[in-house]
Amino acid sequence: MSRLTPQEEAILAGIDDDELIRWVQELSRIDSVWRPAEGRGEAEAARWVEARCREMGLTTHFEEVVPGRPNVIAYHRFGPGPTLMFEGHTDVVTEGDPALWTDPPFSATIRDGRIYGRGANDMKAGVVCALIATRALLESGLPLRGRVLIGAVCDEEGAMIG
């Protein structure tokens, strides 16, 4: 006997586990360590998130807090009511010495049912879960109120400027 409501079942029915895993791997394979000497950071990861948001029809804003350090804010308004916000960050801490890794740090290797890679757990899987959950809400067909908002912010691992 299911303890889920019919509404909850309708939302969960829209989640494709294989796609969720694939998206976590895709995002985790993007090196989003802030590397100021190279002028690289989380911009590529933010663009990936923005593209997924646009694909699901969200109103999307891409805003650089400082050059190379963008936030992505995306939302859908169902109507009047409260806001459900998902928030996560796109930057990751440095991988350190790659020789100390069993697999390359940005390989997002699946082993023993787990994804291994820098940032997979903190917090790229969480960002992907927010995207997948939002899409499941949108595709459920349920009459919802308020809006759903995703904030994928920069620099959580540093000064938290996002």
- Catalytically active residues are 91, 156
> Are 49 and 130 in contact, with CB atoms under 8 Å apart?
no
- Residue 140's contacts (CB-CB under 8 Å, 6 or more residues apart) are 7, 10, 11, 13, 14
Q: Helix, strand, coil shares of the chain as percentages rounded to 5?
A: 35, 25, 40
The C-alpha atoms of residue 155 and residue 92 are separated, in whole angstroms, by: 8
Quick one: CA torsion of 56, 57, 58, 60, rounded to 10 degrees?
Answer: 110
The C-alpha atoms of residue 81 and residue 87 are separated, in whole angstroms, by: 19
